[in-house]
Amino acid sequence: MSALTENPFASTHSLDANPFEDPVPLSGHTSPQPSYPSPQHAVRLEELNERERDLERREQELTQKAEHIRRFGRNNWPPFYPLIFHSIPEEIPEHHRPLMTRLYQLWFVLVGTLVVNMVACIIILASGSSNGASDLGSSIGYLIVIPPLSFLLWYRPIYNGYMKEQALYYYFYFVFCGFHLAYSLYMIIGIPSTGSAGLIQTIQMYVKGHIAAAIVGTVASVGWVLQGVGNALYYRQIWAHHKSAGHSMEKAKTELAAHGAKAYFTRG
C-alpha cells in the first residue's frame, strides 16, 4: 500500500532548487574559456592574407595586360604609344642578352646626349656666339630625327639579327651603324655652326669664359664619346660573331629571295 501512496508526479530533483541556477558541472569538466589564436596560427593567417593580396595584384596585372593586348596587340614599345614588340629576355637568346642590353643602354645614352647637346647649344646662343642660331636649329633637328632613325636603322636590325640569326639583318646593321659611328665622330669634334656642342665648341666656351656653356658642352662631349666608343667596340664584336656564324652576302640574298622584304619587318 505504501507504493500506492507515492506521488507519481514527484520530481527526482528538489523543488527548492533554483531553476535559473546553472547546473553543477560534472566532475572533470570546466566552463569553456575564450580561445585566442596561437602565435603560429597568427603567422599562418598573415601568410594567407598576404597570398590573397598577391593574387589580387596579379589579377589586376593580368587584367591590365589583357586590356593592353586588346588595344595594341603584343606591342609594348615605345611605352607611351606602343608600335612594336620589344623584349630582350623573351626574344634574344640567353648568351646574347648582355650584348643587346648594352646596345639598348647605349641607344638611351645617345638620346640623352642629344638632349644635353641641345641645351648646350641654347646656352651657347645665349652667350652671344655668332653661330648660336645655326647650332641651335641643327641640334633641334638632330633631336627630332636621330633617335627614331638610329633605333630603326641600326638598333632594330641587330636586335632582329640576334633574334632570328639571319644574315640580311647583320648587313643592315653594319651599313647604318657605320654611318652612325661617322656621325658620332663628327659630333665629338664639335665644329661651330654644325649643331654640335663637342670639343671645339666647348674649348671655345672655356676660352671666352662662358663657364655654364662650357660645362654643359663638356657633358655633351663626354656623352658623344661614350656612345661612340661603346658602339665601335660592339660593332667589332658583332662583326666577329657575324663571321663565325657563317653569314655572307650570298646568304643574305638567298634569304631576301626566299622570304621577301616584308618578312624583315615581322616577328616571324
DSSP codes of every residue in 67-83: HHHHHHTT--BSTTS--
Mean pLDDT to the nearest integer, 110-130? 95
What's the chain's average pLDDT?
Answer: 84
Measured CA to CA in angstroms, residue 91 lies from 47, 70, 101, 266 at distances of 36, 21, 12, 13
CA–CA gap between residue 133 and residue 162 (Å, rounded): 42
What's the pLDDT at 54?
79
205 contacts 214 by C-beta, under 8 angstroms = yes
In this prediction the pTM is 0.73
Q: Which residue has the higher pLDDT, 43 or 91?
A: 91
Nearest C-alpha neighbor of 103 from the set 165, 177, 166 = 177
Q: Which residues contact 205 (CB under 8 A, 6 or more apart)?
A: 124, 127, 211, 213, 214, 217
Q: Which of 166, 165, 171 is nearest to 95 (CA)?
A: 165
CB atoms under 10 Å from CB of 213, counted, come to 28
| Cell numbers found for residue 40 | 603560429
The residues near 110 (Cβ < 8 Å, ≥ 6 apart) are 146, 147, 150, 223, 227
Q: Is the pLDDT of residue 203 over 90?
A: yes
pLDDT digits (tens, 9 = 90+) for 181-199: 999 999 999 999 999 999 9
Task: Look at residues 265, 262, 260, 257 and name the one whose alpha carbon lies nearest to residue 152.
Answer: 265
